[in-house]
Amino acid sequence: MYRINSGMGHRPPVRMLSAWVRLQRVSQRVLSAVESDLKAAGYPPLAWYDVLLQLKGAGADGLRPLALQSEMLLKQYNLSRLLDRMEGERYLERQPCPEDGRGQIVVITPDGQRLLTRMWPAYEAAIQRQFAAQLTAEETAQLARLLAKLLPR
């Protein structure tokens, strides 16, 4: 078990630290396994799906990159490169922002819509295999309730 000493004689409670470490490990392991499942099925990385899902939800209005960035929790540099690659594959397009001539709006294309639709069954199966199959329906609901407490309201 990890022991953290802040140098001031304070140690976090063991349960708190144990929960924190497990949350990090589980998150990394499950995301990595889902990524591997998608790759094995011949699909692009999970981040592509997430971008397309956000853009689909925004509809024809699209999203400004900054709004997309806040939803995706990616750094601007990483998001910009990701959008470049996805635009190169014609899954999204950038359009001039009507309110700001220098800004851009990112919208999903029909090819992006089709990729999102094709990816979902593989993504759903990966979530089931790597996550849901390990828990009962009651445990899944309980976990969702607990994790919701950690999200901003």
Q: Using one digit for the tens of pLDDT, what is the confidence trace for 52-66?
A: 999 999 999 999 998
- In sequence order, what are the beta bridge partners of 108? 92
150 domain residue, yes or no: no
Is 153 contained in some domain? Answer: no
Q: Which two tokens stand for residue 36?
A: 């591997």
Those residues with Cβ within 8 angstroms of residue 123's Cβ, 6 or more apart along the chain or in another chain:
34, 38, 43, 46, 49
Instruction: Report yes or no on 35 lying in a domain.
Output: yes
Nearest by Cα to 12 from 23, 24, 22, 3:
3
- More confident: 152 or 52: 52
Identify whether 53 is part of a domain.
yes
Nearest CA to 131 among 142, 140, 144, 119?
140
Tell me whether residue 5 is in a domain: no
Tens digits of residue pLDDT in 86-121: 999 999 999 998 888 788 999 999 999 999 999 999
**pLDDT exceeds cutoff 90 at 128:** yes
CATH no. for residue 113?
1.10.10.10
> Cα dist. 43→56, 71, 117, 132, 147 in Å?
18, 22, 12, 21, 28
CA end-to-end distance (rounded Å), the chain: 32
- Looking at per-residue pLDDT, the higher value among 80 and 107 belongs to 107
Spatial neighbors of 3 by CB under 8 A, at least 6 apart, are 11
Range of the domain at 21: 14-143
Q: Give, in order, the Cα–Cα distances in Å from 30 to each of 8, 26, 82, 134, 138.
A: 35, 6, 22, 11, 20
Can you tell me the mean pLDDT for 123-147?
Answer: 96
* Residue 137 falls inside a structural domain: yes
Number of domains in the chain: 1
pTM for the predicted model, two decimal places = 0.82
Distance CA 74, CA 65 (A): 11
Instruction: Please identify which residue in the block is written with the tokens 């407490």.
Output: 149
**Domain contains 122:** yes
